[in-house]
Amino acid sequence: MSMGNSKLYKGSLNTIILKLLDERGKMYGYEITQKVKELTKGELNITEGALYPALHKLEAEGLLDVEIAKVDNRLRKYYKLTEAGEKETVNRLQELEEFIRSMQNLVNPNWSIE
């Protein structure tokens, strides 16, 4: 992934995380990184160095709940949306969609001739 891309996506990372959790209920960190890689056909690789600070920030904002479960004798941290998180996901997705639409209009303007 090019540097330019990674800068753009850094701003959308929180929204991507919220959207995935909204769709899938609860997920653990590694699962989130793999799902993003799969959905973007390998274009986006979220490093753990970017993911965990984002998860902690969303948790601190009261948008995520953490659930600890024992899996194969290891403790695994699952993240899921709080009620506030569900509302915020809707807002952020709308904002992201509007932003994408604006960008598309700038990059590919429809020069319709009246």
Distance CA 14, CA 27 (A): 14
Reported as a single tens digit per residue, the pLDDT across 13-23 is: 899 999 999 99
Lowest mean pLDDT among 10-19, 20-29, 52-61, 83-92: 10-19
Packing angle between helix 3-24 and helix 48-60, nearest 10 degrees? Answer: 50
pTM for this prediction: 0.80
Assess if residue 24 is contained within a domain: yes
Return the H-helix or E-strand segment holding 111. none
Distance CA 57, CA 82 (A): 14
Assess if residue 113 is contained within a domain: no
Q: Higher-confidence residue: 83 or 13?
A: 83
Assess if residue 111 is contained within a domain: no
Specify the CATH number for the domain of residue 35: 1.10.10.10
Q: What is the mean pLDDT of residues 5-20?
A: 79
pLDDT at 44 over 90: no
Output the average pLDDT for the chain: 88
Assess if residue 7 is contained within a domain: yes
Assess if residue 9 is contained within a domain: yes
Assess if residue 73 is contained within a domain: yes
Q: Higher-confidence residue: 44 or 85?
A: 85
User: Which parts of the chain are beta strand (E)?
Assistant: 26-28, 64-71, 74-81
pLDDT at 73: 93
CA angle 55, 42, 33 (to 5 degrees): 20
Across the strands, what pairs with 79? 27, 66
Please count the structural domains in the chain.
Answer: 1
Q: 69, 76 in Cβ contact below 8 A?
A: yes
Assess if residue 114 is contained within a domain: no
Give me the domain span that covers residue 68: 2-106
pLDDT at 113 over 70: no
